[in-house]
Amino acid sequence: MELSHRGKLFMGLAQQAEADLRELLAIPGNYAVLFLQGGATQHFAQIPMNLAGEGDSADYVVTGHWGEKAASEARPYVKVNIAASSKDEHYLRLPPRETWQLDPRAAYVHYTPNETIHGVEFHDIPDVGDVPLVADMSSDILSGPLDVSKFGLIYAGAQKNIGPSGLVVLIVRRDLLERAGRPMARIFRYAEHAANDSMLNTPNTWGWYLAGLTFQWLKEQGGLAAMQARNQAKARLLYGAIDGSGGFYRNPVAVASRSRMNVPFTLHDSALDADFLKESEAAGLLALKGHKALGGMRASLYNAVPLEAVQALVAFMADFAKRHG
């Protein structure tokens, strides 16, 4: 941690991390890869600053908590058009593509491929025509192969599938870097970060280093096709246990919209929640308490979670249901 980010050793690590990420996602050469700070939340605001000019509008497709946040943080910088929202349906399903009110003059279309709290995921990349598609992949990046060429910009807080908190990976089509016409400090300008290899100021060297180790680990696991197969197997096992529990456990999300990464579920009687959490923790199954916005439970099945952990969870769930059913 005492190494200078401009020293040869760190520069080598940084370049290797970028090369490995480019290989894993097959990122085309006309995309810049940036290693930034500020969390995904800062980029909710910085994306419109960079991609929209004065008076422009942008389309937002809102399918959960984080999409709502992204739209609200963008409002000071762009006219936000909510092109589709499933809020009235409590975010239990994705709004059908044919109902989206997209504006062909929008500066970009923003969506959240995986909604971490609501457990709702797109399983296809939506076709939005020629308008650049912007995706907050904070909770699904690297969970499977991705056609990066379908996107204008992809960004992700690193803290789930990549590594530690405090790092944001942002992949942007280079022609979009030319857009940022409005006055803003250099530190907010993606083009400046790209021109300076993400070292406009001191980067998060620790996060970048650990991200690089994760990229190497992913390559050793067989790359993103192997991760996809593993993630699908984990999700199938857990949803199967929930749906097959005779109503003891319940996941309310429409089957076609269910997330492979985040599985919220409730117990048939919420009076059992405290016992479920206490006993699961004693069994070594941690962090199952649901987000405070939804209550109940949530199992996150990020890349680092092995199939054996999900097998242990479903065995515990079956035993708990037998004892309390």
Ligand X SMILES: Cc1ncc(COP(=O)(O)O)c(C=O)c1O
Applying CB under 6 A, which of residues 50, 63, 116, 245 lies at the interface with ligand X? 116
Find the shortest distance in angstroms from Cβ 302 to ligand X: 11
Give the separation between CA 47 and CA 190, rounded to whole angstroms.
9
* Contact status: 136 vs ligand X (CB under 6 A): yes
Find the shortest distance in angstroms from Cβ 204 to ligand X: 12
Within 245-304, which residues bind ligand X (CB under 6 A)? Answer: none
Amino acid at residue number 279: E
- CA-based radius of gyration for the chain: 20
Give the separation between CA 325 and CA 320, rounded to whole angstroms.
8
Find the shortest distance in angstroms from Cβ 122 to ligand X: 12
- Which residues are CB-neighbours of 208 under 8 A, at least 6 positions away? 13, 14, 17, 35, 167
Applying CB under 6 A, which of residues 37, 39, 197, 250 lies at the interface with ligand X? 39
Task: Say how many residues touch ligand X, by CB under 6 A.
Answer: 10
- Reduced to 3 states (helix: H, G, I; strand: E, B; else coil), residue 253 is coil
Applying CB under 6 A, the span of 37-45, 213-221, 241-249, 265-273 interacting with ligand X comes to 37-45
* Contact status: 139 vs ligand X (CB under 6 A): yes
Give the separation between CA 188 and CA 169, rounded to whole angstroms.
15
End-to-end CA distance of the chain: 52
* Contact status: 138 vs ligand X (CB under 6 A): yes
- Which residues are CB-neighbours of 19 under 8 A, at least 6 positions away? none
The structure tokens listed for 144 are 């499977």
* Contact status: 41 vs ligand X (CB under 6 A): yes
Point out the catalytic residue in the list 20, 136, 140, 208.
Answer: 136
Does the active-site annotation cover 100? no
Applying CB under 6 A, the span of 102-110, 134-142, 145-153, 203-211 interacting with ligand X comes to 134-142
Q: Give the sheet arrangement for strand 249-250, strand by strand.
A: 249-250, 262-267, 297-300
Query: Between residues 40 and 52, which has the closer beta carbon with respect to ligand X?
Result: 40
142 in Cβ contact with 162 (< 8 Å): yes
Point out the catalytic residue in the list 20, 59, 140, 160.
Answer: 160
Give 19-42 as a 3 state SS string: HHHHHHHCCCCCEEEEEECCHHHH
Does the active-site annotation cover 160? yes
* Contact status: 157 vs ligand X (CB under 6 A): yes
* Contact status: 66 vs ligand X (CB under 6 A): yes
Find the shortest distance in angstroms from Cβ 148 to ligand X: 18
Applying CB under 6 A, the span of 136-144, 233-241, 270-278, 293-301 interacting with ligand X comes to 136-144
Amino acid at residue number 81: N
Does the active-site annotation cover 66? yes
Residues of this chain that interact with ligand X (CB under 6 A) are: 39-41, 66, 112, 116, 136, 138-139, 157
Residues noted as catalytic: 66, 136, 160
